[in-house]
Chain A
Amino acid sequence: MDNQKTVIEISHMTKKYGKHRGVTDLSLTVEQGKVFGFLGPNGAGKSTTIRAMLGFIRFDSGRINLFGKDIRRHREEILAQVGYMPSEAMFYPAMKVREVIQLAAQVRGVDCGEEGEMLCERLQVDTEKKIRELSLGNRKKVSIVCAMQHSPRLFVFDEPTSGLDPLMQSTFFSLVREYVDQGATCMLSTHVLPEVRRYCDHVAIMKEGELQCVKAVTALTNAGARRIKWVRDGKREEFLYDRDLNELHRELAGHDITELLIEEPSLEEAFIEYYRT
């Protein structure tokens, strides 16, 4: 498996919605075989980026290549190798689950029978039910089957676990890991930070339409701010500190320090710090 192969390459992409901000000058790359977390507060531009990546919307400038091909010129060819799971997971209400899964496979022109059956079994999908009878969680499961049954080279998941029970969340991530181990790549847009910590290799943080950083998840907690806990002059204090530690040392001179703990912030704190700044 060639881990250096670039699957997603976004270069200086800008998308504006009239006068409103969309995404500004976004550049990022995702390598094959990685689980890439895509984070940011609501309205940060995550969905806009995903939609532009899949050719759902046009963008004003820049370039997006998936598998080395321009999405604007090779959309159909690219989407044949992509499994996308939208956050809403909506289907035609009068159709049976089996018919929806079949339709997705037929339009792709591939025989996904065996893989589809395996996925339905592991995710406990009742294929004889009508879509209108399903809860959000069950619709999500159908969406997972539709996104995975053709064993794509790239997965794009938009808040995939909302509505899924913990057991199904675990099954979902096991499946993702299995496909990624076989060479697939996964882009995961989520608000659930423990998911990012547990399953992602790298993470990109978006804020107000701009990319704040792209880092390995482990590096994110090792860089930047530190959590400081101390008892100074009999008073207990706890805060995040992102300046030079020598400065902190000088500040402590002349004070009575009875406790001092400097530790890495949690992933949650690191993200919140990025959101705030």
Chain B
Amino acid sequence: MRYIYGHEMKQYWKTLLLWAVCVGGMGMACILLYSTMQEEMAAMADSFAAMGGFSAAFGMDQLSIATLKGFFATEVGTIHELGGAMFAAVSSMNILSKEEDGHTSEFLFSLPVSRGKVVWTKWGAVCTGLLLFHLICMGFYGMGFLALSEGIPVKEWFLYQAMQLLLGLELAGICFAASAFSRQNRLGVGLGLVLLLYACDLVSRVVPKMEKLSVISPFAYANASEILGTGKTAAGGALLGAGVLVLALWTAYVKYTGKDQT
């Protein structure tokens, strides 16, 4: 199976590199910009923290945008969350369906390999891609912190990255399952789903009556401001996310191994 795994990685390493460099690079640029905007940020911090639901939506009620940690959580955190989630959708939405969409399934499945093994190998490639994406981004952000001679809050930092990885895996798992049902390229659906879930999280934070929307959005447990501000995450949400991931993978396996090849 390592050859199919290698083949998958080879097929999408350029996409991985492009997304990681763009998201990580943008994050690092934002961190570096902080030193030039430090005074303006300090002046704005109080007013940003007093904007009620809007402040809460971006976590500015828990962290001061005047500190690098607060600036990272509110600015870079948003870029990383959205960028990482969109990359998760891009890397998994077509990974199973592309064989039928590109008419390559007859070649692939004429080889002595079962559909089940193909499912797990492709999922392995998705996981590797997500892990590498987060490692590269962490590298960029770390370089930004080092350039400003700022220390990194290690415990919060790793918890945040772990939750970001779980967020990516959950969204990738959902898209992976959707890919098992589809015979065509449905990238738009995957990206739409990411934006919808992000919007659900945002609305749940801004509008008190819609607070329950946070239950369905995995962005709720991976919020940078909450994790970096309190050192904790919504454990229930994370557990639910892990459950959704397992269910999505099971669905993908059952559907893909049970369907006829077109």
B114 within 8 A of A: yes
Q: Number of B interface residues, CB 8 Å?
A: 17
B106 within 8 A of A: yes
CB pair A80–B112 under 8 Å, yes or no, is yes
**Residue in chain B with minimal CB distance to A142:** B107
CB distance from B165 to the nearest CB of A (A): 28
Q: Which residues of A contact B113 (CB under 8 A)?
A: 76, 79, 107
Q: List residues 109-135 of chain B with CB under 8 A from any CB of chain A.
A: 109-114
CB pair B107–A51 under 8 Å, yes or no, is no
| A-B pairs under 8 A by CB, number | 61
Q: Which residues of A contact B103 (CB under 8 A)?
A: 88, 90
**Residue in chain A with minimal CB distance to B258:** A58
CB pair B111–A79 under 8 Å, yes or no, is yes
CB pair A56–B109 under 8 Å, yes or no, is yes
Q: Which residues of A contact B111 (CB under 8 A)?
A: 79, 104, 107-108
CB pair A103–B3 under 8 Å, yes or no, is yes
Q: How far is the CA of A196 from the CA of B114 in the complex (A)?
A: 33
Q: How far is the CA of A238 from the CA of B139 in the complex (A)?
A: 85
Number of chain A interface residues as a range:
20 to 34
**Residue in chain A with minimal CB distance to B7:** A103
Query: 1/0 contact trace for B69-98 toward A, CB 8 Å?
Result: 000000000000000000000000000000
**Residue in chain A with minimal CB distance to B107:** A91
Tell whether A79 pairs with B110 under 8 Å between CB atoms, given A57-B260, A107-B4: yes
A54 within 8 A of B: yes
CB pair A107–B3 under 8 Å, yes or no, is yes
A94 within 8 A of B: yes
Q: List residues 43-64 of chain A with CB under 8 A from any CB of chain B.
A: 51, 54-58
A86 within 8 A of B: yes
Q: Which residues of A contact B110 (CB under 8 A)?
A: 54, 79, 82, 84, 86, 147
CB pair A108–B112 under 8 Å, yes or no, is yes
Across the interface, A107 reaches (CB within 8 A) one of B11, B106, B112, namely B112
Q: How far is the CA of A76 from the CA of B110 in the complex (A)?
A: 9
CB pair A56–B104 under 8 Å, yes or no, is no
CB pair B112–A79 under 8 Å, yes or no, is yes
Q: How far is the CA of A123 from the CA of B82 in the complex (A)?
A: 50
Q: Which residues of A contact B230 (CB under 8 A)?
A: none
Q: Which residues of A contact B114 (CB under 8 A)?
A: 75-76
Tell whether A92 pairs with B109 under 8 Å between CB atoms, given A56-B260, A56-B261: no
CB distance from B81 to the nearest CB of A (A): 31
CB pair B3–A106 under 8 Å, yes or no, is yes
Tell whether A86 pairs with B107 under 8 Å between CB atoms, given A57-B260, A58-B260, A80-B112: yes
A146 within 8 A of B: yes
CB pair A76–B261 under 8 Å, yes or no, is no
CB distance from A81 to the nearest CB of B (A): 9
Query: 1/0 contact trace for B233-262 toward A, CB 8 Å?
Result: 000000000000000000000000000110
A-B contact pairs, 23 of them (CB 8 A): A54-B110, A56-B260, A56-B261, A57-B260, A57-B261, A58-B260, A75-B112, A77-B112, A78-B112, A79-B110, A79-B111, A79-B112, A79-B113, A84-B106, A84-B110, A86-B107, A88-B103, A88-B106, A90-B106, A104-B107, A107-B3, A107-B112, A146-B107
Residues of A within 8 A of B (CB): 51, 54-58, 75-80, 82, 84, 86, 88, 90-94, 100, 103-104, 106-108, 143, 146-147
Extra inter-chain contacts (20) besides given A56-B261, A84-B106, CB under 8 Å = A51-B260, A54-B109, A54-B110, A55-B109, A56-B109, A58-B260, A76-B113, A76-B114, A79-B112, A79-B113, A90-B104, A91-B107, A92-B7, A92-B104, A103-B3, A107-B3, A107-B111, A107-B113, A108-B112, A147-B110
Residues of B within 8 A of A (CB): 3-4, 7, 11, 102-104, 106-107, 109-114, 260-261
Top 9 A-B pairs, shortest CB-CB distance: A90-B103, A84-B110, A57-B260, A86-B106, A106-B3, A80-B112, A56-B261, A79-B112, A107-B111
